Every structure is written in structure tokens, then in C-alpha cells.
Amino acid sequence: MAKKESFFIKENEVGFVPDEEYTYVEPYVQLLDAFARTTYKSIYVIDYFRKDFFYVSDNPLFLCGLSPEEVRRMGYDFYLRFVPEPEIPLLLEINRAGFTFTESVPPANRLEYTLSYDFHIKPSPGKPLLINHKITPLRLNGNKVWLSLCTVSFSSKTKPGNMEIARRGYTGHWKYSPVDRKWHECARIILKEEEKEVLRLSMQGYTMKDISEHVSKSLDTVKTYKRRIFEKLEVENITEAISYAINNNLL
């Protein structure tokens, strides 16, 4: 049976961090609080030295009925309590694979990478929610990731997993294959301007017919743009497409 200690492996083991180092990162809390008030996303900071959560934003959407302080005190026990048991091995594999990738990156570049993945949480009462996690290293201790920033939003996918890594300023990204347990580099998804316009107008509530009239294109042409969007983003409907595009800064 998994325990929270199962998430802490040699790849994310952090050497000693003195208490005074924490005083230098306290200003992050004020910045994160201010940012949290401007977004629907939940935000928290993972502390790999103390093996807990350094900060949790006040956002009821993804806290399963708990207060931020309760979630902060629980740390990784939050996952063990609110993630469906069959998906716990997935989280452990994501944890291992993500840090294995990080170890392959030169320390000077480790803050440039973001890991994205999806899994369910099961608030009570209510049906399980498929959420997306994005984790970005925030501070290093030596060569090891000490603090990581995590943002939580609704997933644009229909199933858990979907492990990807992106690098700031880099045109490609990496996808993880659970079959061979390896990361594979892929070309970055690029939407054409007309495809972006279809998404932007769809976000504003325009129908396909409305969009056709707005951009002075035939309805069949707009439907072609929409189909290409779905193919590129590997989604099944316009709601998922909008969510994916926003979460991945494609607009």
C-alpha cells in the first residue's frame, strides 16, 4: 500500500536546508496569494526537503471540501485520501519519470521545464473530477529541486495520464510513454491564426455559423478549421479544445 513516503525517492532527495533559507522565500507567499486571487486555478508549492506543502492557495474548487491550511498540513496524504486508489500507481510513476527527466537536465536549466499530467480527485459528495497538474521547479538547493510551483485546473482530456514536459522558449515538448517508460521528443503544437480565431470566437459563445459570418469564410471552411484543431490537440469537442489551448498557452 502506498504511503506519502513513496513519493520521495533518491531523485528528489534534497540535502539540508537551514531555517534561514525559508525566510528568503516567504515573500513568495504574498506574490502567490495575489496571483491566486486573479485565477480560477488552485496553486500550491511543494517542499521536497520537508516533504510537505509549503503553501496552498485559498481555492475551494480543488480542495475537496478542506481548508487551505488543512491541505497544507496533510501534504501528500491529500493525494492518498482523495485520488482514486487505482490511480495512485500512476502518480507514483509520474513522480519517478518526472524526476528522472529532471536529473538528465543540466542544473542551470532545471527551472525552465514544466511537467503536465492528468488524474482524478474524488470530492465527497460528488463525482470524481479529472484535473490537470502543472509542476514547475521554483527553487533549487544545490542541484536538486527544493521547491516546486504547482497549478491545478480542469483537464481538457477524458482519461488520466497524458504526461508531457515543456521547456520555456523551446518549440518542442516531450511525451511520456507508459509502454516503454521513456520520454519521447515531439514537435510543438502550433495553431494557425485562423484556428486560433475559431477558438477565440468559440470562447465568446459564437456558433460555427456565427464564426463563418464573422470571418467571412464558408461554413464548411470553418468546420475544417475546427476539425484540424481537434486533430492537433487530440480532443473531442470545442470545450476540451478551448481548455487545452488555454492551459498550454496556445492562443
Q: Per-domain residue ranges for the chain?
A: 4-187, 193-247
Residue 238's contacts (CB-CB under 8 Å, 6 or more residues apart) are 199, 202, 226
The SS3 call for residue 81 is helix
Task: Report which of 192, 189, 147 is spatially closest to residue 166, judged by C-alpha positions.
Answer: 189
What does R_g of the chain's alpha carbons equal in angstroms?
20
Residue 16's contacts (CB-CB under 8 Å, 6 or more residues apart) are 49
As beta bridge partners, residue 218 has: none
Question: What topology is assigned to 193-247 in CATH?
Answer: Arc Repressor Mutant, subunit A (1.10.10)
The torsion region of residue 242 among left (phi > 0), alpha (psi -120 to 50) and beta comes to alpha
pLDDT of residue 243: 82
Lowest mean pLDDT among 17-26, 108-117, 122-131, 142-151: 122-131
* pLDDT of 35 over the 80 cut: yes
pLDDT of residue 45: 97
Best-predicted range by mean pLDDT (93-97, 155-159, 203-207): 93-97
* pLDDT of 11 over the 80 cut: yes
Cell (9 digits) for 146: 527544493
Q: What are the φ and ψ backbone dihedral angles of 44, each rounded to 5 degrees?
A: -150, 165
Question: What topology is assigned to 4-187 in CATH?
Answer: Beta-Lactamase (3.30.450)
What does pLDDT average to over the chain?
93
pLDDT of residue 236: 87
Reported as a pLDDT band with limits 50, 70 and 90, residue 87 is very high
* pLDDT of 247 over the 80 cut: no
Reported as a pLDDT band with limits 50, 70 and 90, residue 142 is very high
55 DSSP 8-state letter? E
Reported as a pLDDT band with limits 50, 70 and 90, residue 60 is confident
pLDDT of residue 5: 94
The SS3 call for residue 169 is coil
